[in-house]
């Protein structure tokens, strides 16, 4: 689905990513882990067009997407959530979820101003889709609230609903359980498993090891801007390089 | 569901249409109640200002940018129509359209060049544009009539009616204003409008949702310039006289203050803001005498305490209070 070849990103002269090569297989849940500052966010920003990689290639369904602007990447079918929530606090929950269907709006500004009947029909259809997604995440009774007043856990779920509602081909989740308590984390884990079972391709960037080890089919470990290990959760857990990255060199601590 | 609930649901579902209808009816009846030419002159001016402010509010409220030069587009529309109809003796309706297209091109040039940059460069660019336009209107005597203005602009004609008295102008100008209001309301309530609201809220998030942020900014900028040009043309035909002073920097900032009073992104607020600032000097002599001080004061106070604008800020507070109240009562 998504294939990265030797992706590099330099900020000024500083390397944030070097020669990252990885693959996100279709229909699987791939997790991207790594210590703080490993370059996970930079990598996800390169994949989604927020940043443009300095070198290397990113191919999505055999189309080169490195350097495309963010909205083009999204229109190809890669939707994402953000580590630090990026909801629209003044819009209602329903409108927030509806923004996830921007790509399907498909009308010019001029058409929208005339409010032609076909647009009204389409709008109704989008509304139904959004309500369905909100049901899935237990948000239906809060649909008219301004998103800004929701509790943190609910905001996280609105973001998930917004990313999922457009039926993306690839879903990128940037730390979806950061800041949630154990109970909420388990609930999100269950939802992710459901999405995976429904056939979604997911790339999960996460700090929460328990969650990753429980639900990921494939784990990619990033350290200091380099990809140091790839494999199943068990393989990665036993990999000495990974242990070193997370726990520090044995000699250094001894 | 009881009949009363059905009725209330129907009202909330169609509230925008209802408000528009109510306002249209009120406007149709207004000249029957109030036929004082002076008052009608004022309400007509509100209609002209409202058209500019509607466009400017879309731009400020939905792209998060600021234009400090909309009086330039307003002026280009007014002088464009004046020159086309008097100097070139073209028919007035087609020239209005032609001028709007030319102004759209100017806005496209400025917007496409400047909106590539992030940050508030457009504010500077439009400020500069306003200076240039104002200076040209003032100095290019042979074409614009210079400081003494441009007189003798013909009134508009439609189906045998000449719009040259306050009452017929009331119907003409408010028809235009209401159509613009309706178009803007439609835009804002559409999927495209939601994309724009996203853009105003968070540019990175909007781009990640598939909004072409740069194109959207340029399009809304051009749209707002076209509305300003249209308002300018109407202004010229309505007063049959234009002078450069109407289109200076202070006119631009006044439009911005109307947006701020009405509230960023509020279409109804735009009409309110235009009305409030047009009428205020009439109510209190002090405001008229120290107009610029008062306008500056309003701008500072609103932006300090209600950064979303007066009306939007107040409705936001009410909405949040209501939602919080409901949340607490739902959990209790």
Window A:62-81, CB contacts with B under 8 Å: 69-71, 74-75, 79-80
Per the structure, the complete domain to which residue A187 belongs is given by 1-77+168-254
Number of domains in chain A: 2
Single out the residue in A166, A185, A218 at which a domain terminates: A166
In a domain, A225, yes or no: yes
- What's residue B104's pLDDT? 95
- What's residue B308's pLDDT? 80
Chain A, nearest residue to B185 by Cα? A113
- Which of A134-138, B23-27, B160-164 has the weakest average pLDDT? B160-164
In a domain, A251, yes or no: yes
Chain-centre distance for alpha carbon A74: 11
Chain B, nearest residue to A118 by Cα? B190
- Mean pLDDT within B186-208: 87
- Mean pLDDT within A150-168: 89
Q: Which residues of B touch A84 (CB under 8 A)?
A: none
Contact B220/A at CB under 8 A:
yes
Q: Which of B328, B278, B313, B277 is nearest to A149 (CA)?
A: B328
Single out the residue in A110, A145, A166 at which a domain terminates: A166
Tell me the pLDDT band of B284, cut-offs 50, 70 and 90.
confident
- Mean pLDDT within A24-49: 88
Residues A254 and A172 in one domain: yes
| Residue pLDDT, tens place only, B72-101 | 999 999 999 999 998 888 888 999 999 999
- What's residue A250's pLDDT? 52
Q: Which residues of A touch B193 (CB under 8 A)?
A: 112
Percent of chain B topping pLDDT 70: 97
Percent of chain A topping pLDDT 90: 11
Q: Which of B13, B111, B12, B16 is nearest to B65 (CA)?
A: B111
Q: Which residues of A touch B183 (CB under 8 A)?
A: 113-114
Averaged pLDDT score across all residues of chain B: 86
Show me where the domains of chain B are located.
16-331
Model confidence at B331: pLDDT above 80: no
| Residue pLDDT, tens place only, B31-44 | 888 888 888 888 89
| Residue pLDDT, tens place only, A169-187 | 999 998 888 888 888 888 8
- What's residue A248's pLDDT? 65
In a domain, A48, yes or no: yes
Model confidence at A192: pLDDT above 80: yes
Window B:199-218, CB contacts with A under 8 Å: 201-202, 204-213
Q: Name the H helices within A101-232.
A: 102-105, 109-114, 117-136, 152-164, 182-197, 209-215
- Mean pLDDT within B54-65: 90
- Mean pLDDT within A87-92: 87
Residues A70 and A183 in one domain: yes
Tell me the pLDDT band of A252, cut-offs 50, 70 and 90.
very low
Residues A57 and A179 in one domain: yes
CB contact under 8 A, B191 and A102: yes
Find the helix packing angle between B166-188 and B37-63, rounded to 10°: 20
Q: For residue A8, report the phi and psi dihedrals to the nearest 5 degrees.
A: -130, 145
Query: Is A119 or B174 the better-scoring residue by pLDDT?
Result: B174
Question: What are the start-end ranges of the E strands in chain B?
Answer: 150-151, 156-158, 161-163, 241-242
Residues A59 and A182 in one domain: yes
ipTM: 0.83
CATH number at residue A211: 3.40.50.300
- What's residue B1's pLDDT? 52
Model confidence at B149: pLDDT above 90: no
In a domain, A123, yes or no: yes
Percent helix, percent strand, percent coil in chain B, to nearest 5 = 80, 5, 15
- Which among B189, B194, B308 has CB closest to A102? B194
CA distance A235 to chain B (A): 34
Size of interface A-B (CB pairs under 8 A): 119
Tell me the pLDDT band of A16, cut-offs 50, 70 and 90.
confident
- Mean pLDDT within A5-29: 87
- Mean pLDDT within A134-163: 87
Q: Which residues of B touch A44 (CB under 8 A)?
A: none
Contact A138/B at CB under 8 A:
no
Chain A, nearest residue to B211 by Cα? A71
Residues A98 and A218 in one domain: no
Q: Which residues of A touch B208 (CB under 8 A)?
A: 48, 50, 70-71, 74, 79-80, 82, 86
Residues A122 and A43 in one domain: no
In a domain, A82, yes or no: no
Distance (Å) of CA B239 to CA A7, B46, B48, B85, B99:
64, 14, 11, 14, 18
Q: Which residues of A touch B327 (CB under 8 A)?
A: 145, 149
Distance CA A23, CA A84 (A): 25
- What's residue A249's pLDDT? 56
CB contact under 8 A, A74 and B184: no
CB contact under 8 A, B209 and A162: yes
- What's residue A253's pLDDT? 44
DSSP tag of B262:
H
Please say whether the beta carbons of A53 and A66 come within 8 A.
yes
| Residue pLDDT, tens place only, A95-111 | 999 988 887 776 788 88
Q: Look up residue B17 and give its two tokens.
A: 């249409």
Please say whether the beta carbons of A180 and A188 come within 8 A.
yes
Contact A113/B at CB under 8 A:
yes
Model confidence at B176: pLDDT above 60: yes
Model confidence at A129: pLDDT above 70: yes
Percent of chain B topping pLDDT 90: 28
- Mean pLDDT within B189-205: 87
Distance CA A216, CA A206 (A): 11
| Residue pLDDT, tens place only, B200-258 | 888 888 888 888 888 889 999 999 999 999 999 999 999 989 989 889 888 898 899 89
Residues A181 and A234 in one domain: yes
- Mean pLDDT within A7-25: 87
CB contact under 8 A, A69 and B212: yes
- What's residue B291's pLDDT? 78
Sign of the dihedral defined by the CA atoms of residues B10, B14, B15, B17, in that order = negative
Q: Which residues of A touch B195 (CB under 8 A)?
A: 99, 102, 105
Model confidence at B283: pLDDT above 60: yes
* Degrees, nearest 5: CA angle A125-A131-A137: 145
Residues A112 and A181 in one domain: no
Single out the residue in A138, A166, A194 at which a domain terminates: A166
């Amino acid at each position: 689905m998504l294939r990265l070849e030797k992706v590099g990103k330099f900020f000024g002269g500083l390397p944030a990513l070097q020669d990252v090569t990885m693959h996100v297989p279709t229909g699987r849940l791939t997790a991207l882990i790594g210590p703080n500052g490993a370059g996970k966010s930079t990598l996800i920003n390169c994949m989604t067009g927020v940043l443009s990689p300095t070198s290397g290639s990113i191919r999505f369904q055999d189309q080169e997407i490195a350097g495309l602007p963010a909205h083009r990447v999204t229109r190809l079918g890669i939707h994402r959530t953000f580590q630090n929530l990026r909801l629209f606090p003044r819009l209602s929950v329903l409108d927030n979820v509806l923004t996830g269907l921007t790509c399907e709006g498909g009308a010019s500004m001029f058409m929208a101003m005339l409010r032609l009947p076909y647009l009204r029909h389409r709008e109704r259809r989008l509304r139904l889709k959004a309500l369905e997604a909100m049901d899935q995440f237990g948000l239906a009774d809060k649909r008219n609230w301004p998103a800004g007043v929701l509790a943190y856990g609910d905001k996280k779920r609105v973001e998930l609903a917004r990313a999922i509602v457009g039926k993306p081909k690839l879903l990128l989740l940037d730390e979806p359980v950061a800041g949630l308590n154990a109970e909420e984390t388990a609930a999100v884990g269950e939802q992710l498993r459901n999405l995976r079972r429904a056939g979604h391709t997911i790339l999960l960037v996460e700090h929460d090891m328990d969650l990753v080890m429980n639900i990921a089919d494939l784990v990619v470990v990033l350290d200091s801007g380099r990809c140091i290990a790839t494999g199943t959760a068990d393989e990665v857990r036993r990999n000495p390089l990974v242990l070193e990255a997370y726990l520090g060199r044995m000699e250094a601590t001894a | 569901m009881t009949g009363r609930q059905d009725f209330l649901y129907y009202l909330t579902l169609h509230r925008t249409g209802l408000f528009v209808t109510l306002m249209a009816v009120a406007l149709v009846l207004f000249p029957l109640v109030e036929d004082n030419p002076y008052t009608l002159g004022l309400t007509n001016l509100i209609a002209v200002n409202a058209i500019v402010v509607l466009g400017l509010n879309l731009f400020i409220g939905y792209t998060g940018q600021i234009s400090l030069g909309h009086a330039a587009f307003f002026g280009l529309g007014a002088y464009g129509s004046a020159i086309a109809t008097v100097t070139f003796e073209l028919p007035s309706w087609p020239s209005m359209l032609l001028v709007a297209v030319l102004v759209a091109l100017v806005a496209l040039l400025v917007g496409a060049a400047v909106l590539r940059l992030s940050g508030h460069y457009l504010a500077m660019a439009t400020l500069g544009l306003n200076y240039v336009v104002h200076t040209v209107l003032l100095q290019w005597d042979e074409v614009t009539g210079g400081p003494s203005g441009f007189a003798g602009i013909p009134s508009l004609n439609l189906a045998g009616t000449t719009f040259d008295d306050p009452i017929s102008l009331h119907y003409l100008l408010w028809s235009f204003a209401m159509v613009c209001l309706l178009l803007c309301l439609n835009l804002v309530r559409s999927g495209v409008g939601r994309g724009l609201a996203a853009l105003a809220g968070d540019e990175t998030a909007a781009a990640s949702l598939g909004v072409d942020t740069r194109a959207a900014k340029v399009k809304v900028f051009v749209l707002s310039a076209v509305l300003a040009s249209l308002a300018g043309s109407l202004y010229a035909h309505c007063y049959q006289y234009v002078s450069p002073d109407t289109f200076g920097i202070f006119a631009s900032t006044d439009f911005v203050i109307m947006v701020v009073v009405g509230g960023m992104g509020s279409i109804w607020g735009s009409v309110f803001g235009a009305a409030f600032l047009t009428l205020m000097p009439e109510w209190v002599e002090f405001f008229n005498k120290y107009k610029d001080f008062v306008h500056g004061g309003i701008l500072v106070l609103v932006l300090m305490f209600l950064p979303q604008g007066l009306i939007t800020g107040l409705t936001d507070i009410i909405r949040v209070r209501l939602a919080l109240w409901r949340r607490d009562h739902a959990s209790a």
